[in-house]
Amino acid sequence: MTAIDPGRLDHAHRLAQAHQLTRSGDLDGAAAIFAELAEDEASPDRTEAGAGLSAVAERMAELLLEEGDPGQAADVLVRALSVDAVADVADAARLRVLLGIAHLELACAEFAAAVEDGRGEGADADTGALAIELLARTLPLRGRDADAETVWRYGLDHPDQALAEQVRLRLGRDVRPAVSATPKSPESTP
C-alpha cells in the first residue's frame, strides 16, 4: 500500500482552491494562495503556483491599468516578479512588459502634472518645455496620438513666448534612432 503524503494533499487542495478563486473572480484571494505556495521551496506545486500567480498578477494589473491605477498595477507586478517561481516562468517577460506599460502611464501622469505646475506665474520655461516634450513623445507609446498632438499644440500656442519657442525647437528635433531598418550584410560586420 502506498502512503499518502498529507502535506501534498494540503498543497493540492490549496492549489485547487486558488484556481477556483481565480475562476470566481477573487483575484486577491487567489494571488495570496498562489504566492504562499510559490514561495514555499518545499512545495511540490511550486512551479504550478508560480504560473498561477503570474496569470493572476497579469489579470489584476490589466484591470488596474484599465481603472486608471498604474501605481497599484506596478506594485502588483513587482510583488509577483519578486517571487522566484514567477520570475522563472515563461510568462515573466509578459509581466515585465506590463510593468513597463504601468511605468509609462506613471510617467505620463508625472509629465502632465509638471505641465500643470508650469502654468503658474514665474514658471520655468525650460522645465515646462521639457515636460511638454516628454509627455507628447510618451503618449504615442500608449496609442494616444491625438492626445500627443493636443499637448504639442498647447506648448506651441503657450502665452509664454520663451516656452512656446522652446517647444517649437523641441518639436523640430529629430529623435529617430540612428539605426537602419535593413540588416547588415555579413561582409559589413566587424
| 25 φ/ψ sector (left φ>0, alpha ψ -120 to 50, else beta) | left
**Would you state the pLDDT for residue 178?**
59
pTM of the entire predicted model: 0.79
pLDDT at 11: 76
Give me 121's grid cell. Answer: 506665474
Q: pLDDT tens digits, residue range 81-98?
A: 999 888 877 778 999 999
Show the cell assigned to 96. 515585465
The predicted pLDDT at position 189 comes to 55
Q: Which class for 168: exposed (0-12), middle (13-18), buried (19 or more C-beta within 10 A)?
A: middle
Structural domains for the chain: 9-103 (1.25.40), 118-173 (no CATH)
Question: How much is the pLDDT for 12?
Answer: 84
List CB contacts of 126: < 8 A, sequence separation 6 or more.
Answer: 166
Return the closest-CA partner of residue 147 out of 177, 117, 108: 108
Amino acid at 132: I
Nearest to 53 by CA among 22, 25, 24, 99: 22
Chain center to CA of 152: 25
- Residue 5's pLDDT is 46
pLDDT score recorded for residue 180: 61
Question: Residue 65: its pLDDT value, please?
Answer: 97
Cβ-contact 140, 129 below 8 angstroms: no
Listed as ranges, residues in the chain with pLDDT below 70 are 1-9, 174-190
